[in-house]
Structure 1
Amino acid sequence: MQKSATESLSNQTLEYHLSEIQKAQANLKGVSIKTALIYSDVFSNECGNSVYIKPENLQITGAFKIRGAYNKLCTLTPSERKRGVIASSAGNHAQGVAYSAEKLGIVATIVMPKTTPLIKVEATKNYGATVVLYGDCYDEAYTEAKRLEKENNFVFVHPFDDIDVMHGQGTIACEIIDEIEDIDCILVPVGGGGLIGGIALAAKALKPSIKIIGVEPEGAKAMKESIDNKKIVNLETVRTIADGVAVKKPGNLTFEIIRNYVDEIVTVSDFDIMESFLLLLEKHKLIAEASGALSFAGLKKIQEKGKKVACVLSGGNIDVVTISSMIDRGLVSRGRLFCFSIELSDIPGELVKVSTILSKENANVVKLDHNQFKTNDRFMQVQLEITVETNGHDHVNKIIKALNNEGYKVNKIY
């Protein structure tokens, strides 16, 4: 009787996986970029560790997925290549498969959720793949891709639950350790688990003492729930700004690898992610998609101090409208934008009085709404809603205190 993939996996050693990952390195030579680590003063100071950025957003397709996709397609037989490949993806795996297929002369079809950002859809089409938009999340797109696989005899290229894909992703860990031999910890975004699975296999083979920490959004923590429950958990719903990791159910292979080789999984809020996105953009001039910023959001959740930590910035495929929204939310999260309302007596000079207080506190007004119809007594009172630029949460608190001292009750909106 033929063994299942998970049974075969249990018989494979770390040395075997390392040799396969080294083969993947050879396959990827001249295709993927060896992204150099970047030291981060700002993240180092915030978490008490020496933090290095692994900028996979600078990869050829804007994300790490090219590594696993290209390595997988390299393992296909000539007859499999003739059949064509199909994949399901929220975006980055789609581009990885499409780019790889075009480079290797293979016909590719990609099923993407209808909610996929347009920039990822267009980029996938530009690499020559046929794109089918289906469903509202990855799992629904996956179901449709599996149907089309059977209907057309395509070869399915799984975005994470495939050992050849994971071996390709594992080349990231090889590059990190080759560059900083005494690295203590690697933080990795987690969706289905393919990225962290490959990194864990390579890292633990090269340096058993290294700590591998996964970071998931609180609204899509399928892997953490599975590890905590010691069985694969299928979430009913997922809700997170990090669309690239919005997976309801982790893979069977990735679950086994993570259970055995990943030290910890932490979860972060969407606000944590937006704050990290802003810091990457403002301090390092690096654009990350929401899922790409996950590992940086996880830095505050780990107990390690004084260690050398590598954070994988997994991708940077994000549209301009989303960037604008993320910047605004990140500014709010960092205390750099403060919106509040107060009630004023409807008499001359009150608005000037409030403006003088804000000026003294160095708060720059960016928006103001003076509305007498928002109060219970519109003949005697008006509501003033103000948005100001600030320098952080301490500055916000100083502004509130100054207004309170002058008799104004502040209602914080955000």
Structure 2
Amino acid sequence: MTVLDPILDPVALPSIDDIRDAARAIEGSVLKTPFLPAPRLSQLTGAEVFVKYENLQVTSAFKERGALVKLLSLTSAERAAGVVAMSAGNHAQAVAYHASRLGIPATIVMPATTPFVKVEATRAFGAEVVVEGETLAEAQARANTIAETTGAVWVHPYDDAHVIAGQGTIALEMIESGIPLDTLVVPVGGGGLIGGMAIATKALSPRTTVIGVETELYPSMRAALDGQPPECGGNTLAEGIAVKNVGRLTLAIARRFVDDVVLVPESAIERAVNAYLTLQKTMAEGAGAAGLAALLAFPHRFAGQRVGLVLCGGNIDPRLAASIMVRELARAEKIVAVRLIIPDRPGVLGDIAATIGGCGGNILEVLHHRTLLSVPAKGASVDVTIETHGPHHAREIEAALEARHYKVERLATP
């Protein structure tokens, strides 16, 4: 049964019964995604990790669940009037896809800063896309106007009881798998995902701790729980949870059912995206990897625990994913760049290449400078980017170059 919250009374919060009803409603239309052990992530983090792969949904994100529950709740008249939503990504595609499937006209307002690939993906799912506003707030204002003038039903991305109940079906599936969890770690944007999952978890597995994760740049839920105004801003890899204001419903749920919310740095999110790519061979966007980022940022907090993670989305730009992988190779010193001051005479470049190759290094790039004022007039500098086996191997190559009487300076890698 629904529960009345004293702060929001008489507004009803979703209950475990609502979540069970939602699960029955979406069965066969939304994938019951795998919930699997991840031994390599367990080795990396020191926790016993299990991953729920919501990136395998048709739109590559969990948002389909809540969007479909909301759409199925509409009356015939409301369906005929259509729906309107505002989103820069996953919610837009989820509403567009399931509205098209159900024959419901859908208008999606997306800010002008939305990547072109996401705009086209939303159009491809059958929605009318309106690109307007530089910010999500401006786009939402436009969506509100469309709803008021056309009578279309507003489908909120998180602060809606039907949407929250739909997202809660993820936890329901995790619990029904029979894998007992010490801790559930969930990314937090507006709070719809953790709200639904926390309700289900505390109803069916009350001993399981529910931890939310936000990026340090957008600590909206953490600030709201602390009674402080949020200080949000900056470019984040986890744009899917870069929300400045959490919902009224979701905040009330978090106060009651969420045990804690932690903040993670951007570097941890990068590491988590890379770990999913290289260790699990699966695609995670920044927001989707935030749960794993918490385990990487606070390993002692989760060590030895059986932890459930939600890989809630995989819509990441391939170029960005490639850049993250290269950056992580640089952090691990598996790619290093050095500058050598050399005499400007024939055969020197060949000697450098032979020295590096003799140590087992692989040259990725060479830049040769003769006109820099920092080198002698009869000298030159060479910047060499090298693939190595790691820090020890990199130092071995540098030592071999120094033994050939080259001055070696380590450079910052891209």
How far the C-alpha of 1:403 sits from its partner, in A, is: 5.0
| Deviation readout 1:280-330 (Å, 9 max, x if unpaired) | 222222112222122122212331221111111111123433333333333
- Candidates 238, 262, 277, aligned match of 2:258: 262
Equivalent runs, 1:13-162 vs 2, <5 Å: 17-162=15-160
Retained in 1: the 8 A contact 2:343–2:380? yes
Structure 1 residue 239, shift from structure 2 partner: 1.6
How far 1:199 moved relative to its partner? Answer: 1.0
User: What's the CA shift string for 1:27-49, capped at 9, x where partnerless?
Assistant: 11111111111221221001111
| Equivalent position of 1:174 in the other structure | 172
Q: Within 2, Cα distance between the matches of 1:394 and 1:199?
A: 45
Shift of the 407–162 alpha-carbon distance from structure 1 to 2, 3 Å rule, reads same
Offset of residue 180 of structure 1 = 3.5
Partner of 1:245 in structure 2? 241
TM-score by length of structure 2 reads 0.90
The one of 300, 317, 320 equivalent to 2:318 is 320
CA distance in 1, matches of 2:156, 2:331: 36
Q: What is the distance in 1 between the residues matched to 2:383 and 2:375?
A: 16
Alignment of 1:271-290 (within 5 A): 271-290=267-286
Identity of aligned residues (%): 38
Residue 348 of structure 1 deviates from its aligned partner by 4.4
Question: Whole-Å Cα distance in 1 between the matches of residues 293 and 200 of structure 2?
Answer: 24
Structure 1 residues 136 and 296, CA gap change in structure 2 (3 angstroms): farther
Alignment of 1:3-18 (within 5 A): 7-8=8-9, 12=13, 17-18=15-16
More deviation in 26-35 or 71-80?
Answer: 71-80
1:171-192 per-position Cα deviation (integer Å, ceiling 9, x unaligned) = 0001111113411112212211
Conserved? CA contact 1:266–1:301, under 8 Å: no
**Structure holding more helix per residue:** 1
Pairing 1:330-341 to 2, within 5 Å after superposition: 330-341=328-339
Give the distance between the partners of 2:352 and 2:46, measured in 1 at CA.
40
User: Structure 1 17/391 Cα, relative in aligned 2: closer, same or farther at 3 Å?
Assistant: farther
CA contact (8 A) 1:6 1:253 kept: no
Q: Distance in 1 between matches of 2:185 and 2:161?
A: 21
After the TM superposition, which segments of 4 or more aligned residues of structure 1 sit over 6 Å from their partners?
none
Look up the match of 1:299: 295
* Partner SS state of residue 302, structure 2: coil
Structure 2: runs of 5+ lacking an equivalent: none
**CA–CA separation in structure 1 for the residues paired with 2:291 and 2:231:** 23
Give, in whole Å, the separation in 1 of the partners of 2:361 and 2:133.
45
Provide the secondary structure at the position in 1 that maps to 2:30.
coil
Q: Relative to 1, partners in 2 of residues 1:394 and 1:170: Cα closer, same or farther, differing over 3 Å?
A: farther
TM-score by length of 1: 0.90
State the secondary structure of the residue aligned to 1:219.
coil
Contact 2:341/2:375, CA 8 A, preserved across alignment:
no
Contact 2:341 2:406 in 1 (8 A): no
Supply the distance in 1 between the matched residues of 2:293 and 2:398 (Cα, whole angstroms). Answer: 28
Q: Which moved more, 1:168-177 or 1:99-108?
A: 99-108
Return the letter of the residue paired with 1:8: D
From 197, 200, 216, give the equivalent of 1:199. Answer: 197
Return closer, same or farther for 1:10/1:185 CA change in 2, 3 Å cut-off. farther
Contact 2:168 2:197 in 1 (8 A): yes
Q: CA RMSD in A?
A: 2.5
Secondary structure in 2 matching 1:292: coil
CA distance in 2, matches of 1:56, 1:141: 27
> Counterpart in 1 of 2:411?
412
**Greater mean deviation of Cα atoms: 95-104 or 237-246:** 237-246
Q: CA 1:81–1:312 in 2, change beyond 3 Å: closer, same or farther?
A: same
